[in-house]
Each structure stands twice: as structure tokens, then as C-alpha cells.
């Protein structure tokens, strides 16, 4: 037969085990929720000669919507992804379509349209994607808008080895070229 002291110890152990199990369950649940984003985070990196480029962005899906109409209406500012502002980081000064962008980290916005897209590099990068302040624009460039042959369901950014950057979603596609400022 167990005495009172032994019963107290067993009771305390049960409480400790229950607490530990609840804590582990809570951590697992929190981790699962943070990894199940509707628009998952992704990044692309490129090393072109001694230039390092990193773009971090969320990748939304079309889900039956049409780019330029139902989602990301033409002529309106877009955060170029979802959730947090898309970031564009470079380790040295570069030329984008022959315009200079100093080394640093920027948020990347666009104003898509049927014929031309405005690509915007903004100085404020650590923010929610809809908190845009035009007065903080470092560089704006106009690039042609093109149509893809096949629709792309999930928004995608690619950086090629030659410095070409492509943004593709639905049948929308635009891009720009990055080069060493000295080239």
C-alpha cells in the first residue's frame, strides 16, 4: 500500500507529464500553422560574377481567378507577391535596364498593365506588403508586359545566370535585366 508521501509524488509526476505533453502539442500546433501559409514563402538567389542577388517573396495561387481582372487589377499597385513585402537584396551597385540601383535591400512593387509594367524598388523593405510609401522609391523602371503560352498557377520569380529576372503569374509575364554597374 502506498503512503501519503508516495501518492503526492505520483500525483506531481502525472501533473508534470501532462504539462509536458500539452506544451509539446502546443509547439507542434503552432509550428504546423506557421508552415501552412496560403501563399508560401520562397526565395531565389543568384551569383553573377561577384554580384549576389536574393529575392524573398510569398507565392500566391490563382485559384480560378484571372490576373489583371479578379486579382491584381491592371493599373493598380501590387506588392509583387503576397503577405510581407517582397524583398530584393544586392551586395553591390547594379544597373537595371541601364539605371543605377545602389547596393542594399529594397521592397519590390509593380504596377502591371496590359502593355507595360512599372517595376518599383522602394527603400522600406521590412514591412507588410500593403504599406507602400511612394516617397521612398529608390528606382522605377518601365518594362514590356508579355503573355505566356501556358498559364502559371502559382506566382513565380526567376533569376537567370545572365542577370535576367522574370516575374510570371497566370498569363502575365514581365522582366528586367540586372548588370554590374561597371559593365
Q: What is the pLDDT along the chain (183 residues), one digit of tens a residue?
A: 667 776 677 667 666 655 555 555 555 544 444 457 899 999 999 999 899 999 999 999 999 999 999 999 999 999 999 999 999 999 999 999 889 999 999 999 999 999 999 999 999 999 998 999 999 999 999 999 999 999 999 999 999 999 999 999 999 999 999 998 776
Give me the sheet containing 87-90, strands edge to edge.
41-48, 51-58, 87-90, 104-111, 116-122, 137-144
Q: Which of 90, 110, 113 is nearest to 179 (CA)?
A: 90
Q: C-alpha cell of 126?
A: 521590412
Residue position matching grid coordinates 517573396:
57
Report the pLDDT value the prediction gives residue 24, as an integer from 0 to 100.
Answer: 59
Report the pLDDT value the prediction gives residue 33, as an integer from 0 to 100.
Answer: 45
Report the pLDDT value the prediction gives residue 34, as an integer from 0 to 100.
Answer: 47
Q: What is the DSSP letter of 150?
A: E
Report the pLDDT value the prediction gives residue 3, as an integer from 0 to 100.
Answer: 73
Q: pTM score, two decimals?
A: 0.79
Amino acid at each position: 500500500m502506498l503512503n501519503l508521501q508516495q501518492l503526492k509524488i505520483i500525483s506531481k509526476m502525472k501533473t508534470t507529464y501532462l504539462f509536458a505533453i500539452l506544451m509539446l502539442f502546443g509547439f507542434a500546433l503552432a509550428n504546423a500553422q506557421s508552415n501552412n501559409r496560403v501563399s508560401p514563402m520562397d526565395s531565389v538567389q543568384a551569383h553573377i560574377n561577384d554580384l549576389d542577388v536574393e529575392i524573398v517573396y510569398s507565392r500566391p495561387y490563382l485559384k480560378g481567378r484571372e490576373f489583371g481582372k479578379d486579382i491584381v487589377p491592371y493599373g493598380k499597385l501590387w506588392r509583387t507577391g503576397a503577405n510581407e513585402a517582397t524583398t530584393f537584396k544586392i551586395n553591390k551597385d547594379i544597373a537595371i535596364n541601364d539605371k543605377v540601383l545602389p547596393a542594399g535591400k529594397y521592397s519590390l512593387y509593380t504596377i502591371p498593365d496590359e502593355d507595360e509594367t512599372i517595376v518599383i524598388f522602394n527603400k522600406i523593405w521590412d514591412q507588410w506588403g500593403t504599406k507602400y510609401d511612394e516617397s521612398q522609391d529608390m528606382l522605377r523602371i518601365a518594362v514590356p508586359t508579355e503573355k505566356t503560352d501556358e498559364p502559371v498557377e502559382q506566382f513565380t520569380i526567376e533569376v537567370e545566370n545572365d542577370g535576367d529576372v522574370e516575374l510570371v503569374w497566370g498569363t502575365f509575364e514581365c522582366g528586367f535585366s540586372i548588370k554590374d554597374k561597371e559593365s
